[in-house]
Amino acid sequence: MKISVIGTGYVGLVTGTCFAEMGNEVTCVDIDEAKVENLQKGNIPIYEPGLEPMVVENHHAGRLHFTTDIKQALVRSEICFIAVGTPMGEDGSADLRYVLAVAKSIGEHMDKHTYIIDKSTVPVGTAEKVRYTVQQELEKRGSSLSFDVISNPEFLKEGAAVSDFMRPDRIVIGADNEDAIEVMRELYSPFLKKNDRFIEMDVKSAEMTKYTANAMLATKISFMNEISNICERVGADVNKVRVGIGSDTRIGFSFIYPGCGYGGSCFPKDVQALAKTSKEYGYTPKILDAVEAVNYEQKKVLSNKVIKRFGEDLGGMTFALWGLSFKPETDDMREASSITIIDELTSRGAKIKAYDPKAFKEARECYLKDNENVEYVQSKYDALNGSEAMLLVTEWKEFRSPDFEEMIKRLKHPVIFDGRNQYDMQKLRKRGFEYYQIGVRS
């Protein structure tokens, strides 16, 4: 099938590449000329395991094209995915300006019946706005061309996006006619050979499904973090509590690990956008508001432990920080806990030696570019040299089994603040470490 994907960010690039991998002819569009030039050379703007070689292979095979010309892309395609960003507005709502700008361009340039698919995460009612925008442009042209607007939310996990797309646990399609549903079924059929997990519904329900899924997962995280804070105060061990409740199949172990808060491009934005939508319709979402409030405070838990141990004045002190990205296997630092932790410590005079396997560039050029008190080092052990203590913020695999004897040699004090509860407390204390976890009284 002939497909265009508007937007070559995380969702758009993975979507276009995986469709090309299945033999479709895909044209990806972006307004950023430099990004398009780099993609044509095989240089991708994000780190996602397995994505770069797939982009290069399909581009060389002639199945995957990159352009800044949306008109050219629409001429080539019958199916058009909208996969541009929907950043959070100042009031917490999803900013639809980019989605509607694409819809306007589609209406201006489409030359045949087109299936327009919302892949971006958008609030309920967005499909109606897209339909209205496209129709307005067609009427300006005096065109009677027909089109369908379909909701097809993505459920990709950063760090596992390619495998998630190639082996989906479900495909959710929201459409208002059977023809559109059948087109989508044909498009996704190569991905559903083993399990037919094609779920069809109305457009608004599909739009709502995406927000509900992310809000549910964020709720589990904030709930467990709240329990961890209670455990720490009453003297219980949240790690043992987690095993105790996770063994219940009704609860399970997914997303009940205590930590220093969730981040990324989805959970913070989507929880707030869903809450904003709810309030616009006259309902106050008490649980959603609480989820966000707990997460906001949780990002300060690790820095608060440092401040309690070393004092409010951290001038002249340096701390090693392991992990900058919001989760492992990605370079994404959007809403990352590391940003809050670093800001809390450096605002009190501390200096940070930071190490992350992938997120250096994001930190240095964007999220921490104005913080002169952060030094970026080339290995996790280099970060320890002359540091008062180590803070583990992101649970990259290479942090799971470090050389603890080497750590003791390099640190000024054998102190670890573990924001992801990666290590065995008793074993570390026997080695001579002063060790702090989330949800365990020190």
Q: Can you say how many angstroms the Cα of residue 78 is from the centroid of all Cα atoms in its chain?
A: 29
Phi, psi of 102, rounded to the nearest 5 degrees? -65, -45
**Contact status, residue 17 vs residue 64, Cβ threshold 8 Å:** yes
Active-site residues, by number, are 266
Contact in structure between 77 and 3 (CB atoms under 8 Å): yes
Q: Specify which residues 151 forms β-bridges with.
A: 118, 174
CA–CA dist 174, 196 (Å, integer)? 16
3-state secondary structure the chain: CEEEEECCCHHHHHHHHHHHHCCCEEEEECCCHHHHHHHHCCCCCCCCCCHHHHHHHHHHCCCEEEECCHHHHHHHCCEEEECCCCCECCCCCECCHHHHHHHHHHHHHCCCCEEEEECCCCCCCHHHHHHHHHHHHHHHHCCCCCEEEEECCCCCCCCCHHHHHHCCCCEEEECCCHHHHHHHHHHHHHHHCCCCCEEEECHHHHHHHHHHHHHHHHHHHHHHHHHHHHHHHHCCEHHHHHHHHHCCCCCCCCCCCCCCCCCCCCHHHHHHHHHHHHHHCCCCCHHHHHHHHHHHHHCCHHHHHHHHHHCCCCCCCEEEEECCCCCCCCCCCCCCHHHHHHHHHHCCCCEEEEECCCCHHHHHHHHCCCCCCEEECCCCCHHHCCCCEEEECCCCHHHCCCCHHHHHHHCCCCEEEECCCCCCHHHHHHCCCEEEECCECC
